[in-house]
Chain A
Amino acid sequence: MIKQNITEYNNVWVFIEHNKGKVELVSLQLLSKAKEIARDLHCDVCAFTVGDNVKPLENEVAEYGAKKFYIIENSALKDYRTEPWRDSISHLISKNKPAVVLIGATALGRDLAGTVATVLKAGLTADTTALDIDPETKNLLMTRPTFGGNLMATIFCPDNRPQMSTVRPGVFEAIKNPSKMEIIKDKFSITEDEIVKKIIEKVQTGEDKLNLGFYDIIVAGGKGMGKKENFKLLENLANVLGGTWAVSRQAVQMGWAHHTRQVGQTGQTVHPKIYIAAGISGAIQHLAGMKSSDIIVAINTDDQAPIFEIATYGIVGDALKVLPKLTKTFKGKLKI
């Protein structure tokens, strides 16, 4: 392993993920968390990104407390593609030597971080849910769930810089903290002809290729939903909450929903902020796919159902009656 002079590395850098001229929420959450880390390390929070035109992002990045915003603009960097983004970002990082680099653990962020860390030969910790500074060594302590959330590990990177981490969205709160921000424009020379990857098309997710892991609110239904037509009740509530709906294995076996909506051991593993289980008894195979959700709300007619053993909040009642009422309550409160 290459020995580095780690004292040369300074400041906490946050990757600004953006889509159609807007900053992704996770990047703002990380700017707020970076502020705490920078306080402990007595350094500054800096933001960085690449793209074809990142001007529209500047105000928001400054509002959330970045002191400096390192950018590279180039028309070849318009849409995210691993290789040109990796190379331009690696250029920024190796030139400016940050001590910490935080990237949202989105699909894009996890694709990007693994390649950048390899170019830089840096230590990278995936999908962390807690970040702390070791008071003695000043190393970043990155805690993450492994084994589907059954085991937690605290990772550190004692001898190498930058200390890189992808961080799970929704873990930290985005807090406004306006700062006078300096924009530092850098250049990276690359043309479209030099990029071998071409994007043929981009589409909204269709029913057959749904990734439940992208949602922070999931409304799931099981056998207690009674029939296929009733799944509209899940969808209605999910829409009000800005989430998506899912099902248990039994619901798939009854032919009520497609397998891609199935949560559980033979379906998808999810860890949303809120998981509402309606008419799901809570078989082990289902629990394995959702028990690491932050908050579990269970609705079931049987007050002895195993789902209540792990639910944060339980409501005994018929899901078909409770769901519409819940939708109405939330709709009124959320004013959507």
Chain B
Amino acid sequence: MHSLVFIKQVPDAAQVRINYETGTLIREGVPSIINPFDAHAIEAAVQLKDKYGGNVSVISMGPPMAKEILKKALAMGADKVFLLSDMVFAGADTLATSYALWAGAKKVAEEVGSIDIYWTGKQAIDGDTAQTGPGIATRFNIPLVTYAVEIKEVDKQNKKIKVSRLIDGGMETVEVPLPCLITTEETINTLRYAPLPYLIKAAKTSVVLLNSGNTEIDAEQCGLKNSPTKVKKAFTPPKREKGEMLEGNDEKTLNALYDKLEPILKQCGKL
């Protein structure tokens, strides 16, 4: 059972502030972390390895400093880590990103053996798109299982997996053949503290660097230039102003509150 986890380096949302004058995020001095949903994907892959054997590889795309999160992935139990780092990838939208990660994943499989399960977090906390996982699964033409909350059953013999996933207003359990791609919710597991042997391994293992030179990545499908979507402008939403304090808390006040909320309730289809 070999796994490959796609992870993204994101700024720690808790420490990002906003420059309201320039309309940009202040990232200076903000530590980078593994996208929290991706951390749960690593944990899920490591738990399956502990149970069924095999290896766990992790890949990320980003600047050289993204090596740091790959070191953390090793400390979480990954065996091999890869960084796709090349200027040709810069400015990619989700279509170009899923292309590069897919092409990089094929290279990883050459090194570690054929992959049974590809994993990624349900979305990244900076872009919030949730589009890269579905994009990679489509490029591989393998079954996609998004919003996974529980690995129910692994049938190693017949190469099948049963996964519970969130759907609108409920949950469903699906069975798919391997290989497949699973995107994880935070609730799929609880992150553990890195055990000492993993920490030692992390210190000893180096990050394998991949770029357009040592992979078969077509630069004509990468980066800003080959991304169909472009950013026209970025701006900060107006700062939330202090609202209206309603006088008292009697029936009259609550009726007034209802009147203010009525148009919204209508919009939500509650009326």
Q: Let me know if B244 and A273 touch, CB within 8 A.
A: no
Chain B residues closer than 8 Å to A308, beta-carbon distance: 242-243, 245
Across chains A and B, the number of contacting residue pairs, with CB separation under 8 Å, is 269
The 5 A-B pairs with the shortest beta carbon distances in the complex, nearest first, are: A114-B134, A123-B228, A317-B249, A126-B129, A160-B228
A25 to B267, CA, bound (A): 10
Give 1 or 0 for each of B148-191: 1 = CB within 8 Å of chain A CB: 01100000000000101011111111111100000001010000
A308 to B228, CA, bound (A): 43
Chain B residues closer than 8 Å to A291, beta-carbon distance: 240
Q: Let me know if A107 and B172 touch, CB within 8 A.
A: no
Q: Let me know if A202 and B172 touch, CB within 8 A.
A: yes
Q: Let me know if B242 and A151 touch, CB within 8 A.
A: no
Is A310 in the interface zone, CB < 8 Å from B?
yes
Chain A residues closer than 8 Å to B149, beta-carbon distance: 209
Q: List 5 A-B contacts (CB under 8 A).
A: A114-B134, A117-B95, A117-B135, A145-B237, A294-B264
Is A188 in the interface zone, CB < 8 Å from B?
no
Chain A residues closer than 8 Å to B98, beta-carbon distance: 118
Is A83 in the interface zone, CB < 8 Å from B?
yes
Candidates A115, A157, A211, A317; contact of B228 at CB < 8 Å: A157
Binding site for B on A (CB under 8 A): 1, 19, 24-25, 80-83, 86, 106-108, 110-111, 113-115, 117-119, 121-127, 141, 145-160, 170, 173-174, 196-206, 208-209, 211, 214, 216-217, 241-242, 260, 265, 273-274, 285, 288, 291-292, 294-297, 299, 303, 308-317, 321-322, 325-326, 329-330, 333-334
Is B115 in the interface zone, CB < 8 Å from A?
no
Interface hits, B203-251 → A, CB 8 Å = 220-221, 225-237, 240, 242-246, 248-251
Q: Let me know if A197 and B175 touch, CB within 8 A.
A: yes
A157 to B98, CA, bound (A): 17
Candidates A80, A121, A151; contact of B95 at CB < 8 Å: A121
Q: Let me know if B228 and A200 touch, CB within 8 A.
A: no
Q: Let me know if B234 and A126 touch, CB within 8 A.
A: no
Candidates B253, B255, B264, B265; contact of A334 at CB < 8 Å: B265
Query: B12-20, B48-56, B70-78: which one contacts chain A?
Result: B12-20
Contact A217-B270, Cβ < 8 Å, known A111-B146, A115-B137, A127-B128: yes
CB distance from B120 to the nearest CB of A (A): 12
CB distance from B32 to the nearest CB of A (A): 14
Is B144 in the interface zone, CB < 8 Å from A?
yes
**Nearest chain-B residue to A169 (Cβ)?**
B268
Q: Let me know if B257 and A315 touch, CB within 8 A.
A: yes
**Nearest chain-A residue to B10 (Cβ)?**
A147
Q: Let me know if A203 and B172 touch, CB within 8 A.
A: yes
Contact A156-B171, Cβ < 8 Å, known A1-B221, A127-B129, A150-B25: no
Is B29 in the interface zone, CB < 8 Å from A?
no
Contact A124-B94, Cβ < 8 Å, known A150-B16, A197-B176: yes
Candidates A149, A160, A203; contact of B171 at CB < 8 Å: A203
Is B194 in the interface zone, CB < 8 Å from A?
no
A124 to B25, CA, bound (A): 23
Candidates B240, B245, B253; contact of A310 at CB < 8 Å: B240
Is B196 in the interface zone, CB < 8 Å from A?
no
Q: Let me know if B240 and A118 touch, CB within 8 A.
A: no
Chain B residues closer than 8 Å to A118, beta-carbon distance: 95, 98, 134-135, 138-139
Chain A residues closer than 8 Å to B147, beta-carbon distance: 107, 111, 211
Chain B residues closer than 8 Å to A174, beta-carbon distance: 269
Chain B residues closer than 8 Å to A201, beta-carbon distance: 172-173
Q: Let me know if B137 and A314 touch, CB within 8 A.
A: no
A323 to B67, CA, bound (A): 50
Chain A residues closer than 8 Å to B162, beta-carbon distance: 200
Is B88 in the interface zone, CB < 8 Å from A?
no
CB distance from B11 to the nearest CB of A (A): 8
Known: A82-B134, A126-B127, A154-B233. 5 other contacts (CB 8 A): A1-B220, A80-B167, A154-B234, A155-B231, A308-B245
A208 to B82, CA, bound (A): 35
Chain A residues closer than 8 Å to B245, beta-carbon distance: 303, 308, 313-316
CB distance from A153 to the nearest CB of B (A): 5
Candidates B227, B246, B269; contact of A314 at CB < 8 Å: B246
Q: Let me know if A114 and B131 touch, CB within 8 A.
A: yes
Chain A residues closer than 8 Å to B143, beta-carbon distance: 82-83, 196-197
A80 to B168, CA, bound (A): 11
CB distance from B254 to the nearest CB of A (A): 4
Q: Let me know if A1 and B225 touch, CB within 8 A.
A: yes
Q: Let me know if B95 and A288 touch, CB within 8 A.
A: no
A25 to B237, CA, bound (A): 26
Q: Let me know if A217 and B268 touch, CB within 8 A.
A: yes
